Amino acid sequence: MKYINVEAVEPGQYLGKTIFASNGAILLSDGVQLTVYMINTLKRIGVTMLYIKDPATDDVEIVDVVSEETKRAVMQQMGETFASIRSGKDFPRRRSALRSIRSLTKL
């Protein structure tokens, strides 16, 4: 697997790691063969770097410091918090959200 700029990605290459939306939803799953449309959409939504499967580096294992589950939960919580801030709403769950994020990062 290699980590490359989205500008260098070519149609037909295979995604090396799942890409998540800011709300934690899966946008593209690991192993999907990328199309021109997918690559252009990733660029449009601001994805700049991604993992691509590469036979030359199949024996290299990339260890994540933070699990995918934790990343997804934090992104979802942050999305909710920023939405509350943007709408001008008070968010009484602020302390609860921070505790949740802190507990997730200890996993």
> Do 53 and 77 belong to one domain?
no
Which CATH number is 38's domain given? 3.90.105.10
pLDDT tens track for 23-81: 778 899 999 999 999 999 999 988 999 999 998 887 777 777 877 778 777 777 777 77
> Do 76 and 95 belong to one domain?
yes
pLDDT band at 82 (very low <50, low <70, confident <90, very high): confident
Predicted TM-score of the model (pTM): 0.66
Domain count, the chain: 2
Residue 18 identity: T
* pLDDT at residue 41, as a whole number: 94
Q: What average pLDDT score do residues 76-93 get?
A: 75
Structural domain includes residue 84: yes
Q: Residue 90 sits in which domain range?
A: 68-105
> Do 10 and 52 belong to one domain?
yes
> Do 42 and 83 belong to one domain?
no
Instruction: Check pLDDT > 70 for residue 96.
Output: no
